[in-house]
Every structure is written in C-alpha cells, then in structure tokens.
A and B are shown apart, each in its own frame.
Chain A
Amino acid sequence: MNISKTLIAILMILSLLGMATRASAQDDPPVDDPVLRALADELARSMTLELEDLGRPYFVEYAVDDTDSLTISASYGAVVSSDQNRSRRLRSHVRVGSYQLDNTNFSGGGGGGMGGRARRGGGGGRGAGDTALPIEDNYTAIRQAIWSATDDAYKAAVQQFTEKQAYMADRETSGRPDDFSQEEPLLVIEPRMEQSFDAPLWEKNLRAISARFLESGKITEADVDLRVSATNNYLVNSEGTRQRTGLSRTLLAVSASGLTADGERLSDEEQFFAFAPEQLPTLEELLSSVDALIQRLEATLDAPTLDNYTGPVLIDSLAAAQMFHALLASGLGGMPEPVGAGRRRAARGESLDRLLGRRILPRFMQVYDDPRAELFDGTLLAGSYKVDDQGVLAQRISIVEEGKLVGMAMSRAPTGEFSGSNGHGRGRRGMPEATAGCLYVEASKGQPEAALKEALIELAADQGLTFGIRISSLRGDTSGGAEEGMRAAFMRRQQGGGGGPTLPDPILIHKVFVEDGREERVRSGEFGDFDVGRLKEILIAGDSRTVLNQFGLLGSGVPQSVIAPAVLYEELDLYRIEQEQVRKPILEAPGSRR
C-alpha cells in the first residue's frame, strides 16, 4: 500500500468531515459508484415492502464492508499460512413500527438477552443477516443480492414485531424508552481506498521475526500473525445517510509460551498496531522488540513463584490500561433492557449504568471517551474513528467527572437515561451496539514514576512488609495461550464461586524491596476479588500515560483504545495460582538437541 495515498485519504476524511453536509433522503449518491447506486436504488424500493396489513418499514439501512485482506502466520522461521482475500459483506437492517416502538429490542419472551437480534425460530444471533455480495462492480448482480437479503430481513422484522406486540399486550411495559433514536443524516463520500499488499515482503519479515524463537530453549510455542486489511465501509439508510469511508488496519501479534520447571504454562505477547503496514516499526525495531519479549518470557519462566500477598500494589500504566479496559470500558455501553428479558448483561461484561451518578473513581480522576483523534503522544489509536457504524459522527463524551460516573457510550438505542446516540454505535458483524472507542483516563494530580515507586515502598514499610508489588502487564487477549489461560482462569473462578468481570492474571510481577528499592521478578499470581467497585480505592495515579489497543478476543472484536496512567493501591490481594501442571516435553526440542 502506498503511504502517501493513505495520508491523502486521511486528509480527505478530515476535509470532507469538515464540510460533511446534511443530506436529504432524496439526494442521489454524488459519485458513480455502482455499489452505492445499487444500495440506494434497492433501498428506495425496499421502503415499499408490505405484507398484507403488517406495515411498511419505517427505516431501512444497509452497511457494506468491502474488504481486501492479507493474513500471514509464521512459526519458527517458516510461513504456515498466507492468504489474500477479497470480500463484500452486506448487513441489511429493516425496522417496522415506529421510532417509539419497533421490532428490535425484543428477546422473544424466552429470555436469553439477545434483544434486537431475536430471529425467527430462535436462530440468528451475531452475524445473522450477513450476506455475501459480488466482489465486482456489477450493479444488477449487487442489487439482486440486496433484494434477496432485504426480503428475508423484512419478513423477519414483521414477525418479530408481531410477536413483540403480542407479548407487550399482556404486560405492563409503560415508561419504556424509544426503540430507536432519530439522528441527522450524514453525507460523507471519501475516495475509494485502493490497496495492494506486499505479501512477499511480509512473508520474509514474519520468517525473520518468528525465527528468533528457534534460539530459545525455554519457549516451546511461538506464533507470529499479521493481518492487514483495507476496507471501504458503506452505509446507506432511509433517513438519507450516504457514507463511503476507507479504513485500513494492520495488526502484528507475536505470542509465545513456555513451561516453567514446575510444569506451569506461561505466555506473553507483543502487539503492533498501525493503520498502514508501512507505519509499523522497522524490521530491526520489531526484531529487538521480539528479542525483548523472549528475554522477558524466559525471565518469567525462571522466576520464583509468588506467595500469597496482601499489601500495596503499583500497577504500571500499561497494566492499568488493561485494568480499565477489563473493568470499565467493557461496561460503558448504554443498552436498553429488551422487552421480554430480565436484566441484561452486556456481551463483554456487566453494563455499568446502575452506577450512574455514583462514585466509581477517586475524586481526582476523570475519564472521557473521544474516538476522533488518531494519535496519542505519537501512538496510533486502534479505537479511533470519525463516523460510527450507524452513520453518526463520533463525539467526545464525558464518562467520569470528579470520580463520578456521569456518561455512557450510546448507540441509536436509547436507554432510560440517555435518549440519543453520541456516536458510539459500533460493530460491523451484527447490529451495532454501544461501545467505548478511545477511553482517556486521567488524574488531576498525577505523580512521576519515581514518586509512585517511593510511595509503594513507603506503604510497604508502613505495613511491616519487606517488599511491595509492582505489576507491569496483564495477560492480553490475542496471545496464543489466551484461550487456554482464560479457560484455566475460568475453571479456577468456577471452583471458587464468584462472577462478574474480573481482571486477567498479571504476567509481569515484581517484588520491590523496601530495603534498597531493588526489584525481583516473580510469577504465577492472580488477583483476589477485584471488580469495578474497587477502582475508587486508587490512592495515587501517575502523570504519564500509556496506550492500550484492544481488538477483542483473538482480534475478532470491535477495536478499542484505553489511555491510562499508572495507579497505586494501598492494599490488594494476590494469590499464588494453583492449577494442574503440564508435563514437560519428553523429548528435547529440536533446536536444543546436539
């Protein structure tokens, strides 16, 4: 891909958004793009869909992801897979009824919390209604596919609406928020993003990166995965929105694991995010990061285990960002309770709306979400975007003021507290959901790193301990051992009872000795009970912040960024992980044989 083209594209976005015009439903797409034309023409026809007396749609929306992607995996110096793919996926979305009451937000009376996605026969779910479009610009063939998908979507919608009305007729359901908010239409047409991928170059680079693990006798599994994608996102709706925006994303993930002498499998990872692959660090820089990862993981594997600990804990900025992601970001999407279901749990954790107006952080901390900036302090933000997946301009929203939860990320599905979208409706696979984008956590009287460490030592001394604990990273969600690790953590929690979102296990743990401030690596700890309620116990925060880019489990979710400072706790519990041990390999690894 051409970097200057990307920059031009980004500039175009800015300038176009600067003059983003309000469109009216009669506007024709201003450019001759067969996809856009097919979407608009078929949309106009779809508004006339009618089955007996069941009513026409009041809203129809089509989203198309036109994606070119390159995916390469390498392991131990060789390429394991390298695939290029072109796809065009259509998500068609039909609403019948009215903004106040429509077919969505209904879980069929049977519970299950799939509001807004309930489908006939109980089927469906995420990705339902996703249709493959032709990958070439054939106007008629594209329309044919849209027509067929819309027919299905409309029939499903009238069925849901009939069921929802029948359900509501026998029950007290007054005082519900509207089902859908009205928003201004948007007209943004960017130049179509065209890409070519240099697959041979990246195969070569991945070979070189993955070959680094051949030297390590301790690391037994290592994978290097690159995914580069360039997507032209289309959004067309019956309110007049016409959008075509280009977006490229590159994610290079290096994950590794090995066994400790006592048979515990430990993993670690490095992730590199960029929009265009050319924005990634140079090969030399990547190699030295991987060498650092190897060194780090080997040191962890050799480290002594942590004994059960209660005392002060300093959570470094990266680990803190992971903590805020797990406990805060996952619950910030405001979502209505669907008709026919009890209280709903958000897919990625419990919704925090029950805490609105309450203190969730210390008084000196603020949180806001602002997806508009692409950079923070020189680091690219994966969670950034200009327009959300419902065609609403991204907005800055205040989340926590003086420690109190005051705002939520909102999509076009209103809740009791918030009636409209604030540009946070995201998700290209199923129906978009309210999701945090770029979450900025800041402290008004942040302390420098050295001061935090000093405070940790003082607290430890004060509690009569010989050392305090510093944690510099938690288990990430793209690491190769992630699934295994999550399963293990889940099993442990099952045995110990408890529920709700908790923190991933810390990977990098250091004892900081009171005596002389020296540090010693330890491993195999997990947090005691640690939920969102404990965020307000933060004692001090740092003055510098680190970016965490997140992509959902194994890179499958909606990208988010969290920017957070280090935080110091006066007292946390850390336990030694007790888990079934893995037997060491029987044979020497090939690299270690003579």
Chain B
Amino acid sequence: MKLRPALLVFFLLAAPGLCAGQDPLLKQAPPEHELIQLLAGELEYSAGALVTDEGTRPYYLAYTVTDNSSVSVQARFGALQTDRATRSRVLDVDVRVGDYGLDSSHELRGSARGGGFRRGAAGAKRIALENHPAAIRHAAWQATDRAFKDAVETYQQVLTNVQTMVEEESADDFSREDPSVRTEPEAVLEIDRKEWVRRVRAVSAMALAHPLIYSSDVSLVGGATNKYMVTSEQTRIVTGQKLLRVALSASTRAEDGMELSQTQIFNASTEEGLPSEEAMSAAFKEVIDMVLALREAPLVDPYTGPAILLNRASGVFFHEIFGHRIEGHRQKSVDEGQTFTRMIDMQILPAFLNVVDDPTLQRFGGEDLRGFYRYDDEGVAASRVELVKDGVLKTFLLSRSPVLQFNHSNGHGRREPGNDVVSRQGNLMISSSTAVSYRKLREMLVDECEKQNKPYGFLFADITGGFTSTSRGGPQAFKVLPVVVYRIFADGRPDELVRGVDIVGTPLSCFSKIVCTGDDPAVFNGSCGAESGWVPVSAVSPSLLVEQIEIEKRQRSQERLPILTPPIGE
C-alpha cells in the first residue's frame, strides 16, 4: 500500500506564543466573549432541537472557531516577492451520534471509503470575520445540519458494520472528560510590516554577490490564532497563540545536476523573540556558505555502519520513526501496522532512554517550542505524558478516542481546522540516563568504526524531514532526508562534508542499535502533516550514537546546469 506522504515533517514556521496567565489549572468563570456567547446560544438550541424523524439525537456537539491573522513578507535578490496580510475564520462542527461506547466516529471496517478513519470535516465552514450574530448563526446552522445528517448516516453504517465484521478490540469510541473552562487574552499580531519589508529585502540582497546561488528566499511569516470552543458538555475555551518564523534559504545545483538547498529557521512566539537583522544576516551567510560548500562536496556510495545523529537531527528522527507509531489511533485502526500496540510494559527502546511528550512546555533551553498548547482541539487540557520509561513503553498519545486499557485522553487530540481530530505529537522530548559529552560520543564513534573495521562513520548534522509508512499494507520502513552530512574518519583525518545520501531502515531494528546519547539536547521546531492536517510540533533530543545505520543514494535530477550566466553574475 501507499506510503503516507502526509507524514512528512518539514521544519517550518515558528514557535507558539504565550499570551495568557500562567495558571492553566485555575477554573474560571465561563468566558464573557461575544463570539463564545453567540456560539453557545446556537449550540444550546441545536443540541436540544436536533432530532431526526426516527428520534435520533446527537449526544455530543461542539463548535470551534479558529480565527487566524497572518502576515507574510518575502524577498529574493533584494526585491520583494510577497507582501500580504490575510485573515480567516473557520468553524468546525463536531457532531456525534450514538453514545460514548459506540458512535458515528467508529472505524468502518472493510469499508469502500478507503478504510480506516473517516475523513469527514463535513461541518467545516468559513464564517464571518466579524461577530455578526445573524451571519454566524446562519453559518453554524448550515454546517450543523450537514454534519448531523452525515453523522446519522455514518452511525447507521457503523451499526451494520459492527454486526458483520470482526472487531479486533472493543475500546469505547469517545472518552468521558470533565469540561474545560478558560479564557486567555486574544493574540494580536503586531508586526511592523514596513520594517520587516525593509529587513527581508536588505538581507536577501546578500545573495546578489553569489552567482552560483540560483534561488534564495528570506521571509517572515507571522500568525496569530485565536480559538473559541464550546461543547454540549459545557466546555468553554478561548485560547490565543502566536507563531512567527523567519526563514532563510538558498539553493543551487552541483555540477552533476543534483539540487542542493539549505534553510535556517528562527521560531518565536512573540514579535520580540524574532531575530535581529544582524542575526538574520549571519544565518543567511551560513546558509549560502553551506550550499556552496555542498556544491563541492563528494557523493558517497551506499553504506552500512556506525553514525552519529546530531541532536536536532535526532529529534526529527524520533518524531518520524517513533512518534508517529505511538499515536493512539494507529493502535485502533486495522489498517495500521501497530508496531507497538501489544508492547505496553515491554522494552521497546534501549533501557537508558526515556521519552515524554509535553505540550505544556513553552520553552526549552531558551527556545520557544512550537508544540506548546494548553488545550487540545477536543478541549482537553494538555498534559505531560510519559511514553517510555527506561526503555519500556508506558502509554500512547491519546485523544478522546480510548485505546486498550487507556480510557482517558491525555490532551493530544489535534487537528488543522477542517479535519477530524486524531492523536498527534506536541513536544516530543527524548532524554537519556547514560549521556556523555558530544566529544566522548565522537570518540565512541571512532571506536565503533574500528570495531566494525570501517574506515569511516557518518555524522548527520541536519535533517529536513522524512516519511514513514505506518500502514499495515506497506513495509514498516522509513526514510529520512539529511541535508548536512559529514564523513568522520577513523584515522583522524578532518571531517569531510558529503552529499546525496538518505537514511533508510525499519524502526524496531533501528532503535535496538542506539548505543549511547550525548548530553546536548536541542530543539527541532517543525510542522507535522498527517491525517488531521498540519500541526506545529517540536522534538527535543540529545545526539545519538547508532552502531549501524543504512544509507542509500538520493534520487536526483539529471537536469543540467543553467546554460547562460545568471544576470547577477554579469
């Protein structure tokens, strides 16, 4: 079966904003917010009055409005390429028919709809940008009607389906949770657009001095997202967050046609956290220098042997290879490979490794974390989840869809507006009880090379992302795409930058080959795409020494170099 290209992680965007008070646990009075009142009024009416001729009613109804403002400025070779501001409001309507035990969200087995979970979002709709009562009520009414009818129909199919198909497990469909009530101040974007236009333009002009840089981009993208959620269980939440990102990238081609690119990203959750012009210039210089260095770097042949994954690269690695496999819904779907489903309380990682996912963490080591949030998209308070303790699997990332003996959400139900919620990662944190200094880790790599009689090992310094197949029909394999790779020689020669390699493997065997970690945890901020859309995430990991890793040649374009000299080189 198909790979899931949606399971790519890109390092994109910026870290989330902290706008609210520091006390998420204090219960508050229901928000007085105008939009909340409006939504709650319509919800109350709908929840009471929605009934089919046969007497079917929803047992759960939720409205979420996601209000997003964003500013995007981008320049290339000293000229502005984009300068725009947009705003949108999307209403998601979630309706459930049936009961907590069995409802309209239940997986349809052997379904012609592609199997697995419903990709509904029947109720998502763009709504008024202003709090216009009649317009918003009308939109909510339309979306609710559609979503309810869809749920009623699906529930009928579910009832038939459970009678005719064999169930692998029989966890409930929806967990019972206490309602959440909270109001955060609304996030407001305060970007000095004029100044940023000037700044991205000025920094991007640095590429004019490098005719071999065929394309480059300097951009700022800032977004403020305010979410308003009301449910029939009396959840009333207003949250506000900002995500800002400055990205600097450059690309070229090697003489053999291989496309080479580099990007550096600054993430921030406040305007003040954005980098200075000097910091941007320095980063852009590094990006350009690295691209030009890669152009001269040799290609390498397929190889199996020891390697170090540098901290940030390890974060991406764990996110892809491990994180996606402990998402709760993958343990329920019959289409999934279920690598870890039956491994609770069993050793799945080396005993010195611990893994938690903690969306409540706002910063780590001075960096804003993009995976930070206080409430997930089902209105459940985010919580620190101990996934692996001393190498032993303890639980999964859970939304309100219970898995095995786990009857409650741990606040990991997430989505991009317009999609159905599934369990997702937030801030995935890897730590180790046998950490050594990076220097020591390198020495261990050299020792490992000698032990295996290899002339060199590899250092993966940066990984852009990767993809993994978790579905049962496909191989349980992964591929990650390193962009900065060094060859480290056993005989003490200086490290050598190389290009054109991908890491491939299978998760279980790969984890068993992790030998040791560094004491140098670092943050990778990115965006993760999967069934429920794109969500901001972070991964924090120390460097890893792996006794055996497999690399293969990267597929590359046969495109020739540009024929004419670039205008900037004239």
Contacts of B79 on A, CB cut-off 8 Å?
134-136, 138, 140-142
- A34-60 CB mask vs B (1 if < 8 Å, else 0) is 000000001001101111000000000
Contact of B80 among A46, A48, A135 (CB under 8 A): A135
Stretch in B43-51, B499-507, B538-546 with 4+ CB within 8 Å of A: B43-51
Distance between Cα atoms of A537 and B567 in the complex (Å): 62
Chain A residues near B82: list those with CB within 8 A: 135
The 8 Å CB contact of A147, one of B134, B560, B567, is: B567
A2 CB-CB contact with B under 8 Å = no
A590–B141 CB distance below 8 A: yes
A154 lies within 8 A of chain B by Cβ: yes
What A residues does B136 contact at CB under 8 A? 78
Interface residues of A, count at CB 8 A: 48
A81 contacts the other chain (CB 8 A): yes
Known contacts A135-B81, A591-B134; decide if A151 and B141 are in contact (CB<8 Å). Answer: no
State which residues 121-156 of B face A: CB under 8 Å: 126-130, 132, 134-139, 141-142, 144-145, 148-149
- The answer on a CB contact under 8 Å between B567 and A143 is yes
Say yes or no: is A511 at the interface (Cβ < 8 Å to chain B): no
| A48, A50, A77, A587 interface centre (most CB from chain B within 10 Å) | A587
Q: Is the CB of A75 within 8 A of B145?
A: no
* Selected interface stretch from A82-90, A109-117, A345-353: A82-90
Contact B83 A82 (CB under 8 A): no
What are the residues of chain A within 8 A of B138 when measuring CB–CB?
Answer: 75-76, 214, 589-591
Q: Are A138 and B78 within 8 A (Cβ)? A: yes
Interface string of B83-96 (1 = CB under 8 A from A): 11011110000000
- Which B residue sits closest to A220, measured CB to CB? B142
Query: Can you list, as one digit per residue, whether each of B494-527 has a CB less than 8 Å from chain A (1) or not (0)?
Result: 0000000000000000000000000000000000
Given A155-B559, A586-B145: A76 touches B139 (CB 8 Å cut-off): yes
A589 to B, closest residue via Cβ: B141
Q: Please tell me if B562 contacts chain A, counting CB pairs below 8 Å.
A: yes
Number of cross-chain contacts by CB at 8 Å: 132
Judge whether B103 is part of the interface by a CB distance below 8 angstroms. no
B19 CB contacts on chain A under 8 angstroms: none
Query: Which of A84, A134, A214, A589 neighbours the largest number of chain B CB atoms within 10 Å of its CB?
Result: A134
A78 contacts B128, CB within 8 Å?
yes
- Of all chain A residues, the one with the shortest Cβ separation from B141 is A590
Q: Does A464 belong to the interface (CB within 8 Å)?
A: no
A80 at the interface (CB under 8 A from B): yes
A295 interfacial contact with B, CB 8 Å:
no
Is A498 part of the binding interface, using a Cβ–Cβ cutoff of 8 Å?
A: no
Chain B residues closer than 8 Å to A50, beta-carbon distance: 563
> Which residues of B have CB within 8 Å of A220?
142
Inter-subunit contact A585/B135 (CB<8 Å): no
Residues of B within 8 A of A587 (CB): 45-46, 49-50, 141, 144-145
Q: Say if the beta carbon of B433 comes within 8 Å of chain A.
A: no
The reply to whether A78 and B132 contact each other, CB–CB distance below 8 Å, is yes
A550-594 near B? 1/0 per residue, CB < 8 Å: 000000000000000000000000000000000101110111010
Contact indicator per residue, chain A 63-87, by CB within 8 Å of chain B (1) or not (0):
0000000000001111111111110
Q: Which residues of B sit under 8 angstroms from A181, Cβ to Cβ?
A: none
B77 touches A144 (CB 8 A): yes
Are A586 and B50 touching (Cβ within 8 A)? Answer: yes
- A147 adjacent to B128 (CB under 8 Å): no
- In contact, A75 and B562 (Cβ under 8 angstroms): no
Assuming the A-B contacts A76-B139, A590-B134, are A141 and B559 also in contact, with contact meaning beta carbons closer than 8 angstroms in the complex? no
Closest Cβ–Cβ distance, residue B200 to chain A (whole Å):
12
**What are some 16 contacts across the A-B interface (CB < 8 A)?**
A77-B135, A84-B84, A134-B77, A134-B80, A135-B80, A136-B79, A141-B76, A141-B78, A145-B76, A147-B562, A214-B138, A220-B142, A585-B145, A586-B148, A586-B149, A587-B141
* 7 shortest interchain CB distances as A-B pairs: A78-B128, A141-B79, A78-B135, A138-B79, A134-B79, A78-B132, A590-B137
